[in-house]
Amino acid sequence: MDRLDRMLLYTRVVERGSFSAAAQDLGLARSTATAAIKTLEADLGIRLLERTTRHVTTTLDGEAYYRRTISILADIEEAESAFRGGNPGGLLRIDAHPHLTRTFLLPRLPAFLARYPGLKIHFGQGDRYVDLVREGVDCAIRAGELDDSGMIARRLGALREITAASPAYLAEHGTPMTPDDLAGHLGVGFISSRTGEVMPLELLEGGKTRFVGLECRVTANDSGTALELARLGLGLVQAPRYHFEADLKAGRMVEVLPDFPPPPTPLSAVYPQNRQTSSRLRVFLDWVGDIFAGSAL
From 128, 130, 123, select the one nearest 102 (Cα to Cα). Answer: 123
| Per-residue pLDDT, 297 | 61
The CATH homologous superfamily to which domain 90-157+266-293 belongs is Periplasmic binding protein-like II (3.40.190.10)
- Quick one: pLDDT at residue 273? 74
- The per-residue pLDDT for 67 is 81
Q: What is the pLDDT of residue 269?
A: 92
Report the CATH fold assignment for 3-83. Answer: Arc Repressor Mutant, subunit A (1.10.10)
* Mean pLDDT along residues 241-257: 94
Lowest mean pLDDT among 137-151, 173-187, 207-221: 137-151
Contact 144, 136 (CB under 8 A): no
Residues of the chain with CATH 3.40.190.10: 90-157+266-293, 161-263
* Nearby residues of 59 by Cβ (< 8 Å), 6 or more positions away: 46, 47, 48, 49, 50
Q: pLDDT digit string (tens) for 37-60?
A: 999 999 999 999 998 767 788 999
pLDDT confidence of residue 145: 79
pLDDT digits (tens, 9 = 90+) for 190-210: 988 778 889 999 999 988 999
- Choose between 132 and 164: higher pLDDT: 164
pLDDT classification of 263: cutoffs 50, 70, 90: very high
Max CA separation in the chain (angstroms): 74
The confidence score (pLDDT) of residue 31 equals: 92
Predicted confidence (pLDDT) per residue in 88-134, tens digit = 777 888 999 888 999 999 999 999 999 999 888 988 876 566 777 76
Confidence of residue 296 (pLDDT cuts 50, 70, 90): low
Predicted confidence (pLDDT) per residue in 25-38, tens digit: 888 999 999 999 99
Q: Tell me if the domain spanning 161-263 has CATH number 3.40.50.970.
A: no
The three-state DSSP-derived secondary structure of the chain is CCHHHHHHHHHHHHHHCCHHHHHHHCCCCHHHHHHHHHHHHHHHCCCCEEECCCCEEECHHHHHHHHHHHHHHHHHHHHHHHHCCCCCCEEEEEEECHHHHHHHHHHHHHHHHHHCCCEEEEEEECCCCCCCCCCCCCEEEEECCCCCCCEEEEEEEEECEEEEECHHHHHHHCCCCCHHHHCCCEEEEEECCCCCCECCEEEEECCEEEEECCEEEEEECCHHHHHHHHHCCCCEEEEEHHHCHHHHHHCCCEEECCCCCCCCEEEEEEEECCCCCCHHHHHHHHHHHHHHHCCCC
**What is the percent of the chain where pLDDT is above 70?**
91
How far is Cα 161 from Cα 244, in angstroms, rounded to an integer?
Answer: 10
- Cα 28 to Cα 81: distance, rounded to the nearest angstrom: 25
> What are the residue ranges of CATH 1.10.10.10 in the chain?
3-83
**Is residue 275 pLDDT above 60, yes or no?**
no
Share of the chain above pLDDT 90, in %: 52
In this prediction, residue 18 carries a pLDDT of: 87
Residue 235 near residue 169 (C-beta atoms within 8 A): yes
Q: Which residue has the higher pLDDT, 80 or 115?
A: 115
What pLDDT does 285 receive?
A: 94
What pLDDT score was predicted for residue 12? Answer: 86
Q: Mean pLDDT, the chain, as a whole number?
A: 87
pLDDT at 148: 58
Q: pLDDT class for 248, splitting at 50, 70, 90?
A: very high
